[in-house]
Structure 1
Amino acid sequence: MSQNYGTKRIVTGAHYGLRDWLAQRITAVLMALFTVVLLAQVIFGEPLSYDKWAGIFSHQWMKTLTFVVIIALLYHAWVGIRDIWMDYIKPVGVRLALQVFSIVWLVGCAGWAIQVLWRL
């Protein structure tokens, strides 16, 4: 004879908590550091022109760093928008459609950003 104590609670989004909170903070720090590196290159040097801008991104290390920051930005945006959809959109079908649209949009933005980055 087993006895159950307490109520059974359906946990839907609660398991994301710490992992996503930490991911948001890490990606934010990464994007802030990238901004500092980019500003340092723009401020300390010759006046800003297309040639200088293209020169900044011509180095392989800068392209790689920018690619990593683009991925971090997309993950940061995904965590935030997913949490908004989960918190405020109650009908499951509408929420799912918005999440799928968000994923497709973010993947499209990633493709466009990478294409622009490697054209320089």
Structure 2
Amino acid sequence: MVLNQATLKRDGVQDFVSLRTTALIISAYAIFIIGYFLATPEVTFEAWTGLFSNLAMKGFTLIALVCIMVHTRIGLWQVLTDYVKCAKLRAVLGFVLNLMAFAYVAIGLIVLWGV
């Protein structure tokens, strides 16, 4: 069997691995933030800006934002193809919801890096 590696199509294994990987990173980020809230007696503006002024925290947040977008895109594709049978409606919903996911990351970057 000849496989065409030049196509942009995904397979189920790639989606499965991508979903599991992004879920692990998102979970690690959530656990870190929950741990920060539990370990910090009083979360003030100074403590919060001090946490996010660290380059490692900005990088971890950036990775988490991108993982949220990838996780959302794959999940939306799976849900829309399963439950929305009209191709035009599925395309419009997919476009709008993917645009929203991209906007979420873009706004997160603006807030995070202060651009």
TM-score when normalising by structure 2: 0.83
Which amino acid in the other structure matches residue 22 of structure 2? T
Of 106, 111, 114, the residue aligned with 1:111 is: 106
Of 16, 20, 23, the residue aligned with 2:11 is: 16
**What SS does structure 1 have at the residue aligned with 2:92?**
helix
- Give the gaps of 5 or more residues in structure 2: 1-9
Aligned length: 106
- Give the gaps of 5 or more residues in structure 1: 1-14
Q: How high is the sequence identity, in percent, across the aligned residues?
A: 21
In structure 2, how many angstroms separate the alpha carbons of the residues matched to 1:117 and 1:23? 24
TM superposition outliers: structure 1 runs of 4+ over 3 Å: none
Match of 1:54 in 2: 49
* 1:66-94 per-position Cα deviation (integer Å, ceiling 9, x unaligned): 00000001111111111111111112111
Of 77, 86, 93, the residue aligned with 1:91 is: 86
In structure 2, how many angstroms separate the alpha carbons of the residues matched to 1:45 and 1:93? 50
Of 24, 35, 42, the residue aligned with 1:40 is: 35
Instruction: Give me the CA root mean square deviation.
Output: 1.7
Bigger Cα Rg: 1
* 1:33-78 per-position Cα deviation (integer Å, ceiling 9, x unaligned): 1122222333223411111111111101100110000000111111
